[in-house]
Amino acid sequence: MTGRQEPYYVDYDADFGLSGLAEAFTLSPAPEDTGAALGLVTAKLDAYDRECPAGSVDHLSADERSILGYDTSHDDWGYAEELREDVRGLVESPLADEAIRAVWRVAAGGGWDPAAHGMSARDWLRRIDETCAARPPRKAPGRRPAPSSWWGAWRPAADEVRDDVVAEIAEIAKMRSCGERSAGPLPSPDTLSALEEVAARVDPDLGFRLFLRALKVHSVRIEKARYDRLQALGERFGHPAALIDFGLDIAWPPIDTARRDATWDFGFSHLAGQAHQDWRESREEIRKTVGGDDIGQTPGSAAAVLLEDTLRLLRSALPDAAVTALWAGGPRTARGVPTAGTGFG
């Protein structure tokens, strides 16, 4: 399988497709029967439609897109189509049904086992597909929109990323064989082997997302170097950082306020830069800056740097007028500039 190279939209801010559905199963009580399980599928699709309603612009032809310089929103494609693509990939794959059952069970936290309800794994996936197909199409069914110049990304060919995904799964399998300790029990060898099969024989993107779900379900402690590799892989797929971060148990290094490898401004200068014409509530802006850790930073880094910058100014010999001038030099307008003597404590 060489992989698809069609363009797609980066419009999700978290997990999606079959792995996103599996996450919903881990966050809900175990369904009592098939109807309740399919109800979770419908609820997931409904939630996406509420949060991301279909756009009002109709799909355009390739020539029209080229002439106008923009495209319709990925929202017109919808969650159901992404989910069906993942499902069809597994159903039509050469994988044994037991391997498909293994990856579904680990991704969904083991709360819903189709075999316990008289279904094979493929039967369960077909029921998901039927649930998606029964929904009214958002726009043009079966047609994936091409990207606009600033929203789009190209899905990497499977051959470009397959080996890297398989290697990450194999490293976890090696941890198990070497008896390395982790925060939680590692996925079973059969499950890890099934995940490798998905990445190698079905789709490395789907294999990667299901592998992340397995790490999260089992609370596998991930060291910073491995986390950085997972984030780099996610960037190649065009995934948001939250898809990797949310629910992953990361062994963060200690906070280091001397590090200067952030991708945007930080600390006091960043806060001062927020005092523009839209400045409304200083405490809220401070909260945003405090919580603005960069991707890959130890949680709390942004707060620590802002505190260090602020204490340096408070403990300095600079008069209030000079500190006020420093603050006023960041924003484009005078809005939000404190009066002399107010301080920043």
Q: Quick one: pLDDT at residue 83? A: 92
How far is it between the farthest Cα atoms of the chain?
77
What does pTM read for this prediction?
A: 0.78
SS (H, E, C) the chain: CCCCCCEEECCCCCCCHHHHHHHHHHCCCCCCCHHHHHHHHHHHHHHHHHHCCCCCCCCCCHHHHHHHCCCCCHHHCCHHHHHHHHHHHHHCCCCCHHHHHHHHHHHCCCCCCHHHHCCCHHHHHHHHHHHHHCCCCCCCCCCCCCCCCCCEEECCCHHHHHHHHHHHHHHHHHHHHCCCCCCCCCCCHHHHHHHHHHHHHHCHHHHHHHHHHHHHHCCCEEEHHHHHHHHHHHHHHCCCHHHHHCCCEEECCCCCCCCCCCCCCCHHHHHHHCCCCCCCCHHHHHHHHHCCCCCCCCCCHHHHHHHHHHHHHHHCCCCHHHHHHHHHCCCCCCCCCCCCCCCCC
How far is residue 132 from each of residues 4, 14, 53, 88, 145, measured CA to CA in Å?
22, 20, 16, 12, 19
Q: Quick one: pLDDT at residue 74? A: 43
Picking from 104, 81, 94, the residue whose alpha carbon sits closest to that of residue 19 is 104
Q: Quick one: pLDDT at residue 120? A: 97
Task: In whole angstroms, give the CA distance from residue 202 to residue 197.
Answer: 7
CB-based contact 330:313 (threshold 8 Å): no
CA pseudo-torsion sign 102, 107, 108, 111? positive
pLDDT average per 10 residues of sequence, the chain (345 residues): 42 85 94 95 91 56 51 58 92 97 95 93 98 79 44 68 95 74 73 96 96 94 93 88 91 84 77 65 76 82 86 88 76 40 38
Q: Quick one: pLDDT at residue 106? A: 96
CB-based contact 177:169 (threshold 8 Å): no
Task: In whole angstroms, give the CA distance from residue 100 to residue 215.
Answer: 17
Task: In whole angstroms, give the CA distance from residue 216 to residue 218.
Answer: 5
Q: Quick one: pLDDT at residue 293? A: 79
